[in-house]
A and B are shown apart, each in its own frame.
Chain A
């Protein structure tokens, strides 16, 4: 039986991860952390109660996934428990994070937040499937629980998008255009992806999954009466993420916000 937290003392230390496996898992963990943290900004501000609650719930799941993924890395480095997770989640320098701009993007407009939820979770479900048979046993162990939760996210996104696309198609169309420069960044591969794939950390490449994702989101758009081509345009934006070592504009103050309370007393027990 694999353990998520609090169990290293009795279970013994898991074997170390290769640098490529660490990069692969951190890219996923950081995406989950950032998108979860961004979703939480809608708590108390969601346009109506159900969606306020939904974003709160989904954010908690994503942060839960991030903790589970960070735990795999932390325990492999001999840093078990909350302190090890905090170190990875909060205390790295911005350029040591490996998140995509899609996950980091503020999405301060509600339509953008909903579109990002749909795009991100469609990608996330594919990413869990790709590590279900991972040769990293601690990673494979957390997949069934995450998949169970992820099905609620993708269902929620589809249900809500289907509704708003009938009543606010223009707004959703605009939000998709606005997110186009960052939409595909979720498919920027982890650093040294080839080595991770060679050792079986995952069974599918990001390039393969991106093709499936493109087909899925385009099928959704057609089903909801929006042009599938909306997601095919090339971004004219000058600022683009080229790889996962590059942080989005505005990341540093966002990161400072995330660690502000923690930094007051890093040793505090909450």
Chain B
């Protein structure tokens, strides 16, 4: 590996870290990278190009997330400009969420569906969780109900 390639790799890592430092406005300590929103980070002619994918196309947080990414990357000393592109492909799904983010979401009483479709209450651990409504408080969540501890559980969908 040449010295030039090494510098380039270090710079790319710095940009990737800056992108990963951006959190979802809905979950202020969960990185957008861990939620699976970051698809590509590259140096283009004009500067840094970041490709993100939206959880839902109508999510009102998209503009805020894009602005946060731009600011974070442009704050790096060697970056002049950063452009954020919302990609239509691939399509986001909950399978893009990392196990670490899954645990963080549980602290917000937000859970992911198990592969068999089952739900586990993040409050009491019971498996007696039933779906209540397809549409929850944000685009990406539906509402369920724990029959055991009687808490509302939100499900990332």
Binding partners A and B? yes
Q: Which residues on the A side are within 8 Å of B49 (C-beta)?
A: 10
Q: Interface code B117-146, partner A: CB below 8 Å = 1, 0 otherwise?
A: 000000000000000111111110011000
Q: Are B86 and A64 closer than 8 Å at their CB atoms?
A: no
- Given A54-B134, A64-B57, does the pair A4, B139 have CB atoms closer than 8 Å? no
- Given A54-B135, A60-B139, A145-B91, does the pair A7, B57 have CB atoms closer than 8 Å? no
Q: Which residues on the A side are within 8 Å of B39 (C-beta)?
A: 1
Q: Which residues on the B side are within 8 Å of A54 (C-beta)?
A: 133-135
Q: Are B83 and A57 closer than 8 Å at their CB atoms?
A: no
Binds A, one of B19-27, B58-66, B107-115: B58-66
Residue A3 is within 8 A (CB to CB) of chain B in the complex: yes
Binds B, one of A23-31, A146-154, A184-192: A146-154
Q: Are B56 and A6 closer than 8 Å at their CB atoms?
A: no
Q: Which one of A2, A4, A11, A148 contacts B93 once the chains associate, using CB atoms below 8 Å?
A: A148
Q: Which residues on the A side are within 8 Å of B132 (C-beta)?
A: 50
Residue A19 is within 8 A (CB to CB) of chain B in the complex: no
Q: Are A10 and B83 closer than 8 Å at their CB atoms?
A: yes
Q: Are A3 and B135 closer than 8 Å at their CB atoms?
A: no
Q: Which one of A9, A11, A57 contacts B138 once the chains associate, using CB atoms below 8 Å?
A: A57
Chain A residue at minimum C-beta to C-beta distance from B70: A6
Q: B18: shortest Cβ distance to chain A, in Å? A: 18
Q: Are B59 and A64 closer than 8 Å at their CB atoms?
A: yes
Q: Interface code B48-74, partner A: CB below 8 Å = 1, 0 otherwise?
A: 010100101111100000100000000
Q: Which residues on the A side are within 8 Å of B139 (C-beta)?
A: 57, 60-61, 149
Known contacts A1-B88, A3-B88, A6-B86; 17 additional CB pairs below 8 A are A1-B51, A4-B86, A4-B88, A7-B85, A36-B58, A50-B132, A55-B135, A59-B58, A64-B57, A64-B59, A65-B58, A68-B88, A145-B88, A149-B58, A152-B134, A159-B133, A159-B134
Q: What are 21 of the A-B contact pairs (CB < 8 Å)?
A: A1-B88, A3-B85, A4-B86, A5-B85, A5-B86, A6-B83, A7-B83, A7-B86, A51-B133, A53-B133, A53-B137, A54-B133, A60-B58, A60-B59, A61-B57, A64-B58, A65-B57, A65-B58, A141-B88, A152-B134, A152-B135
